[in-house]
């Protein structure tokens, strides 16, 4: 340990402001980058899932319409 | 000879491979960074001239050299995507740009915070500082181009061309301290042969550098995997995967 006390550690030989500014801003930048990257990943997965759900619904609706069409058509013929 | 690489041109295989190595990068980086930062802040000796302000060195130098390293990696990926039309290369270039931009910003901010007590000014239009600032603008330009077009492959092509033109800036940054008279000091660690540093200052630097490099790898992996999913969202394997995750 290079410092005698916790105060000396924070003081950094008079350069405390500059040293902690550097370490603090770097930590802030890196943590936000990591968080944003992960949020972005989750958002892309969610978006794809939503689209898939919508497509499934549309397919189901189309199928039901087809079934009702085929049941109607023989009646129409007669 | 390069046949073993071929399967990795398939997005699905690369997605699973990067998923496997990602936690290793993340844990190793966390361990190295916590050891390295504590060592740098509390246990490394103070510089005989610069005192404790020298501890900024342990952030500034890794961030600055990684900002250039990421750019070179991005340029190689850009070249591959332009010449061989590799879609994954394009996705990786797009994943690297924001990481490089953040590391360039960190290099500039820590540099300013180190310059104020040592040189008496936050900023000076000197060759090294100006060329590093241009690197930041190049990164921002590449990010903007990647997002400027609906068509991802067109956007990738435009960004790749800007990336390759900007490569000229890398040797300018590297040799600026030798070519021009500048306030910025010359190389300390990367001098060929012997670095002009004592071992008790050099060891924490090496650990910090490796920790940051692995952090870069971790974040690029996360972003690369996101890009792969977004660009292959209509493929059956992505559909299955998303169904599995979202239930």
Backbone angles phi, psi at B190, to 5 degrees: -90, 15
Give yes or no for a contact between B134 and B169, defined as CB atoms under 8 angstroms apart: yes
Provide CB contacts within 8 A for B75, sequence distance 6+: B163, B164, B166, B167
pLDDT beyond 60 at B134: yes
At residue B245 the predicted structure's pLDDT band, cuts being 50, 70 and 90, is confident
CB–CB contact B215 A30 (8 Å):
yes
- B142 inside 8 A of chain A by CB: no
Residue with the larger pLDDT of the pair B182 and B217: B217
CA A73 – CA B219 distance, rounded (Å):
59
Nearest CA to B40 out of B219, B197, B193, B183 is that of: B197
Report the pLDDT value the prediction gives residue B193, as an integer from 0 to 100.
Answer: 59
B141 to each of A75, B98, B112, B138, B155, how far by Cα in Å? 65, 11, 23, 5, 12
Partners of residue B219 in chain A, C-beta under 8 Å: 33-34, 37
Q: Greatest CA span in chain B, whole angstroms? A: 62
- B30 inside 8 A of chain A by CB: no
CB–CB contact B113 A22 (8 Å):
yes
At residue A51 the predicted structure's pLDDT band, cuts being 50, 70 and 90, is very high
Mean pLDDT of chain A: 87
> How does DSSP assign A16-46, residue by residue?
HHHHHHHHHHHHHHHHHHHHHHHHHHHHHHH
Q: What is the pLDDT of residues B147-157, one digit of tens each?
A: 999 888 899 99
- Return the number of other C-beta atoms located less than 10 Å from residue B173's C-beta: 21
pLDDT beyond 60 at B12: yes
Nearest CA in chain B to A49: B242
- B198 inside 8 A of chain A by CB: no
Nearest CA in chain A to B56: A19
ipTM of the modeled complex:
0.90
Question: Could you say which DSSP state residue B167 is in?
Answer: T
- B37 inside 8 A of chain A by CB: yes
Shortest Cα–Cα distance, B48 to chain A (Å): 12
Report the pLDDT value the prediction gives residue A75, as an integer from 0 to 100.
Answer: 52
Partners of residue B43 in chain A, C-beta under 8 Å: 1-2
- B96 inside 8 A of chain A by CB: no
> What angle, 0 to 180 degrees and rounded to 10, lies between the N-to-C axes of helices B127-146 and B87-119?
150
∠ CA(B1), CA(B75), CA(A25), 5° rounding? 125
Nearest CA in chain B to A48: B233
Residue with the larger pLDDT of the pair B195 and B31: B31
Nearest CA to B90 out of B72, B76, B71, B69 is that of: B76
Per-residue pLDDT averaged across B208-223, rounded?
97
pLDDT beyond 60 at B124: yes
Report the pLDDT value the prediction gives residue B190, as an integer from 0 to 100.
Answer: 65
Mean pLDDT of chain B: 91
Give yes or no for a contact between B135 and B97, defined as CB atoms under 8 angstroms apart: no
Partners of residue B218 in chain A, C-beta under 8 Å: 34
A75 to each of A64, A68, B37, B65, how far by Cα in Å? 18, 11, 81, 78
- Residue spans of the domains in chain B: they are 56-185
Name the β-bridge partners of B51: B47
CA B91 – CA A71 distance, rounded (Å):
50
Shortest Cα–Cα distance, A38 to chain B (Å): 7
CB–CB contact B102 A48 (8 Å):
no
What is the per-residue burial (b if ≥16 Cβ within 10 Å, else e) of B77-89?
A: bbbbbbeeeebbb
Nearest CA in chain B to A11: B52
């Amino acid at each position: 340990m290079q410092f005698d006390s916790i105060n000396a550690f924070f003081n950094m030989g008079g350069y405390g402001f500059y040293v902690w500014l550097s370490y603090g801003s770097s930590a802030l930048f890196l943590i936000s980058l990591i968080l944003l990257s992960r949020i972005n990943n989750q958002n892309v997965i969610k978006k794809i899932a939503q689209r898939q759900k919508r497509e499934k619904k549309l397919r189901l609706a189309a199928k039901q319409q087809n079934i009702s069409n085929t049941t109607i058509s023989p009646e129409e013929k007669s | 000879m390069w046949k073993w690489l071929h399967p990795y041109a398939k997005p699905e295989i690369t997605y699973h491979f990067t998923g496997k190595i990602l936690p290793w990068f993340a844990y190793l980086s966390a361990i190295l960074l916590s050891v390295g930062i504590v060592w740098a802040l509390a246990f490394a000796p103070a510089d005989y001239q610069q005192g404790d302000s020298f501890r900024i060195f342990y952030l500034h130098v890794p961030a600055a050299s990684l900002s250039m390293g990421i750019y070179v990696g991005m340029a190689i990926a850009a070249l591959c995507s332009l010449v061989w039309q590799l879609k994954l290369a394009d996705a990786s270039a797009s994943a690297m740009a924001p990481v490089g931009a953040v590391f360039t910003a960190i290099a500039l901010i820590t540099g300013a915070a180190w310059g104020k007590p040592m040189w008496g000014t936050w900023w000076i239009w000197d060759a090294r500082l100006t060329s590093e600032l241009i690197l930041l603008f190049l990164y921002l330009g590449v990010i903007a181009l990647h997002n400027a077009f609906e068509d991802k492959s067109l956007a990738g092509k435009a960004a790749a061309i800007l990336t390759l033109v900007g490569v000229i800036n890398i040797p300018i940054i590297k040799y600026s301290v030798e070519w021009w008279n500048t306030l910025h000091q010359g190389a300390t660690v990367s001098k060929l042969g012997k670095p002009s540093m004592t071992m008790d200052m050099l060891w924490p630097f090496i650990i910090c550098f490796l920790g940051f490099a692995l952090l870069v790898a971790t974040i690029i992996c996360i972003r690369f995997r996101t890009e792969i999913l977004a660009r292959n969202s209509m493929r059956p394997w992505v559909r299955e995967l998303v169904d599995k995750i979202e239930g």
